[in-house]
């Protein structure tokens, strides 16, 4: 079965004013269909760098990144954007909702960029809001929503195009414990429905839902194991 995401010796380095930083050292990693991977490590360990490479938000300085078996090395920005939009959904700690758009319009936005017809994108956006329990708030502006509701709108936006993988960077970092539990359970339900999930987190409770744990420190993968629900 073709992997959803695969890194082959992928690394990311930065050079600035004569200073060289290995943000992520060469790493081999495979994420299969329906997998749930948590990535943990201290601040500055390379977790977000890894997620950005997996999400095609940045390019490796060495190695390859494959999405659904397609090598993205050498592809231009238009091709990269097309692969990213079709296969991947993103949820960040900051919700990144446009303040002047309603919840429904925010969820529709990637479908607009994907040139989905108006009726089809509205239907998909409404279905996504129903999936996260916010159909009744479709006409609300972000300022009228709680933090947990904003994150659920962000998740609806991420899954409206039915991506194969959902990439989450500290998705509960700005939420209280009750909202965090709702969002964590929602991500787990999406995974149960077959969406592959990669979540970067400092929160052991969030990580405990994953079936696989990857620990990173100083840009190196120290541990990668599958587990049956035990706390990391």
Digitized pLDDT (tens) for each residue of the chain, 232 residues in all? 789 999 999 999 988 777 788 899 999 999 999 999 999 999 889 999 999 999 999 999 999 999 999 999 999 999 999 999 899 999 998 999 999 999 999 999 999 988 899 999 999 999 999 999 999 999 999 999 999 999 999 999 999 999 999 999 999 988 999 999 999 999 999 999 999 999 999 888 899 999 999 999 999 988 788 765 444 4
d(CA 102, CA 138): 7
d(CA 46, CA 44): 6
- Look at residue 229 in the predicted model and tell me its pLDDT: 43
Region 5-95+164-226: CATH code = 3.40.50.300
Q: How many other CB atoms are found less than 10 A from the CB of residue 211? A: 15
Q: Name the pTM for this structure.
A: 0.90
Burial code (b: 16+ CB inside 10 Å, e: under 16) for 13-49 equals eeeeeeeeebbbbbbebebeebbbbbbbbeeebbbbb
What's the Cα-to-Cα distance from 63 to each of 9, 147, 155, 160, rounded to whole Å?
5, 38, 30, 31
Structure tokens at 4: 């959803």
> Do residues 198 and 30 lie in contact, with contact meaning Cβ atoms separated by under 8 Å?
no
- Residue 160: which H helix or E strand, with range? none
């Amino acid at each position: 079965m073709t992997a959803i995401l695969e890194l082959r010796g992928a690394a990311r380095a930065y050079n600035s004013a004569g200073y060289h930083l290995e943000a992520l050292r060469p790493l081999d990693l495979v994420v299969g269909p329906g997998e749930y991977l948590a990535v943990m490590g201290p601040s500055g360990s390379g977790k977000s760098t890894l997620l950005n490479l997996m999400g095609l938000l940045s390019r490796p300085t060495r190695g390859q990144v494959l999405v659904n078996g397609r090598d993205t090395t050498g592809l231009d920005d238009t091709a990269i954007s097309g692969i990213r939009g079709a296969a991947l959904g993103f949820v960040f700690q900051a919700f990144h909702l446009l303040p002047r758009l309603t919840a429904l319009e925010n969820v529709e936005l990637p479908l607009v960029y994907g040139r989905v017809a108006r009726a089809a994108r509205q239907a998909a956006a409404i279905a996504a809001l129903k999936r996260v329990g916010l159909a009744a708030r479709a006409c609300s502006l972000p300022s009228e929503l709680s933090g947990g509701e904003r994150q659920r709108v962000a998740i609806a936006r991420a899954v409206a195009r039915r991506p194969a993988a959902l990439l989450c960077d500290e998705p509960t970092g700005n939420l209280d414990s009750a909202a965090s539990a709702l969002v964590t359970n929602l991500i787990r339900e999406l995974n149960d429905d077959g969406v592959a999930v990669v979540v970067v987190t400092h929160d052991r409770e969030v990580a405990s839902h994953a079936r696989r744990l990857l620990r990173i420190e100083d840009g190196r993968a120290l541990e990668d194991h599958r587990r049956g629900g035990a706390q990391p």
